Structure 1
Amino acid sequence: MEMTFQHYLLGLFAVANNIPALPLHMNLCRGIDVAGQHRMCTVATGSSLVTMVVSLVIGAAVLEFFGISIAAFRIAGGLLLVTSGLGMLKSKCDEPAGFIPATLSEMIPLAVVPIAIPLTTGAGTMSTIILFAESAGSMNGLLKIGAAIGGVTLINYLTFFYSPVIVRFLGHTGMDIFTKIFGLITLALGIQFIITGVIAAFPVLH
């Protein structure tokens, strides 16, 4: 059954939101000008976007190359999302206190790893996109997933850029609550993937 754009958008945002990356991003952006902050946001969200698009375009081909069935990947991806969701439910958005690179050129690589990958777009996101693409069933479905990826990317960019305002408004408690809500959605999504994968692998259970 093909899902709506809203389902794809919510599902992707649950696993590809950048809330866990905000404290580190803010820590790195201290002391740099607005142009530098724009560049950091662009690099982080651009890297995340490329990762998601590559997963959408060639993810299924990679599985086929290695001889991995969709049912097996659903179970594995579901377990990964369950682990990620449980981690989000237990996590705290504490601001890290560490070394801040002296120059923008030293910060840019950190915008890719670990801010974009894996804090914003990790293995759980890639698994979700591949499974969404497999179940889309039509070009229209793939276009909806592509639009959802674009929507998540835009939201993440704005979240990165306005992170000081968001953190001041929500506070660490609000960010923890926000993270736990999406952790619960991620956990439920992972369990649904496992159920679907098990039924596909063992039709007698249906």
Structure 2
Amino acid sequence: MELDFKQIATVTMVLFAVIDVVGSIPVIVDLRSRLGHIQSEKATIVAAIIMIAFLFVGEGMLKLIGIDANSFAVAGAFVLFFMALEMILGIRLYKDDNPSTASIVPIAFPLIAGAGTMTTILSLRSAYDKINIIIAILINVIIVYGVLKSSGKIEKWLGVNGIGIIRKIFGVILLAIAVKLFAANVKGLFV
């Protein structure tokens, strides 16, 4: 394991696109207006713990159920592909239930550390050093905390169109990452 700033930057961007905290601002603002207060600190800490724990125990869980890393990475590429389509086309393929509290559920899980994030973390593990992934997770958690604390100001500053543009840009980046992840791991399925 060695620090690689290029890996950290890449993984940070991938996780930033998958977590899509900027695109979640409308959801966060809606939760704040309906439920009053969002526990930003609690949600952020729990999300970080979930992501880092999944980085270490996720592969063991896969082995336990008999799935190899290449298969999981290809499945992760499909999840990222569909998430990118949601971001680019502005459609919802996956719908969440209406939340009743705004801290661990739905902010920490599934909004920040959801299925797409978990799949991405395990998929990234096959290509990047764990220490670089942990640093990227922590960078993203800091960004998430900042966004949660200032979601009202960010929404006013960006406006609906600005948030939409950012979602589409990160959607295209995520789509390219999904294609790259698929291409890198699909060969391993047939060996």
Q: Same fold (TM over 0.5)?
A: yes
Residue in structure 2 matching 1:185, options 155, 173, 181:
173
In structure 1, list runs of 5 or more residues that go unmatched: 93-98
After TM superposition, the structure 1 = structure 2 runs for residues 79-98 of structure 1, keeping only pairs within 5 Å, are: 79-91=78-90
User: Which residue does 2:61 correspond to in 1?
Assistant: 62
Pair 1:113 & 2:90 matched? no
User: Which residue does 1:22 correspond to in 2?
Assistant: 25
Q: In 2, distance between residues paired with 1:13 and 1:172?
A: 19
Note if contact 1:20-1:119 (Cα within 8 Å) is conserved in structure 2.
Answer: no
Offset of 1:81 from its aligned partner? 0.7
Offset of 1:32 from its aligned partner? 8.3
What is the Cα-based RMSD across aligned positions, in Å? 2.3
SS of the aligned residue for 2:67 comes to: coil
SS of the aligned residue for 2:126 comes to: helix
Residue in structure 2 matching 1:157, options 145, 165, 181:
145
Q: In 2, distance between residues paired with 1:73 and 1:24?
A: 29
Offset of 1:30 from its aligned partner? 3.7
Residue in structure 1 matching 2:10, options 3, 7, 14:
7
Offset of 1:142 from its aligned partner? 1.2
**TM-score, structure 2 normalization:** 0.84
Note if contact 1:60-1:134 (Cα within 8 Å) is conserved in structure 2.
Answer: no
Pair 1:199 & 2:191 matched? no
Note if contact 1:21-1:115 (Cα within 8 Å) is conserved in structure 2.
Answer: no
User: Which residue does 1:95 correspond to in 2?
Assistant: none
Q: In 1, distance between residues paired with 2:34 and 2:185?
A: 48
In structure 2, list runs of 5 or more residues that go unmatched: 92-97
User: Which residue does 1:96 correspond to in 2?
Assistant: none
Q: In 1, distance between residues paired with 2:117 and 2:84?
A: 12
Note if contact 1:9-1:151 (Cα within 8 Å) is conserved in structure 2.
Answer: yes
Amino acid at match of 2:41: T
Runs of 4 or more above 3 Å deviation = 30-33
Give the fraction of aligned pairs with identical amino acids, expressed as a percent: 30
**TM-score, structure 1 normalization:** 0.79
